[in-house]
Amino acid sequence: MKNIFRPLALGLAGALALLSLYFGIVTLVSGWEFAKTQFSSFWYFIIPLAGGFGVQVGLYTYLKTAIREKNASGKVLAVSGATSTAAMISCCAHYLANILPILAASGFATLIGQYQVELFWVGLLFNALGVAYIANRIISFRRHV
């Protein structure tokens, strides 16, 4: 495993960026005290979501570097990026519940707010699927190169 530092650093940066996005959106919409309360209530969802996203970023970076080093095709990266994006969006989607009423979509916002925990589980599922997919691509790439 050559140069694992870069994927680890970018994975950590991805996790921290997602946590920053979480705190930024919630604080902007509802204030710092609410953000702290929400985090203390749901940290056991938020930390694994951010960590899972960071793992995906790290694996993606590792795969991208391995492909470049072997001068192989970059096609394998397209679906991996889409999976990571889907996980991140599902992670933070329930916080749109605070913004959407302002945009005249209160019915949809209420639905999202009502199923906040379920959306956390969906985010965790997407994270797990994203990690499994990218790990599978790495294994497959290593077998064929």
Contact, 15 vs 50, CB < 8 A? yes
Q: So what's the pLDDT on residue 66?
A: 84
Mind listing the pLDDT tens digit of every residue in the chain (145 residues)?
Answer: 567 899 999 999 999 999 998 899 888 878 899 889 989 998 999 999 899 989 999 998 998 888 888 765 555 455 445 544 555 555 455 555 455 544 444 555 566 667 777 878 888 888 888 889 888 888 888 888 7
| Nearest alpha-carbon partner for 134 in 53, 21, 46, 17 | 53
Helices (H), 3-115: 5-30, 32-69, 77-92, 106-114
Which letter does DSSP use for residue 80 in this model?
Answer: H
Q: How far apart are CA 24 and CA 43, in angstroms?
A: 16
Q: So what's the pLDDT on residue 5?
A: 93
Q: So what's the pLDDT on residue 7?
A: 94
| Nearest alpha-carbon partner for 57 in 17, 1, 2 | 17
Q: So what's the pLDDT on residue 80?
A: 47
Q: So what's the pLDDT on residue 104?
A: 45
How many Cβ atoms from other residues are within 10 Å of residue 23's Cβ? Answer: 16
Contact, 15 vs 51, CB < 8 A? yes
Number of alpha carbons in the 13 Å side-chain half-sphere of residue 145: 15
Number of alpha carbons in the 13 Å side-chain half-sphere of residue 48: 13
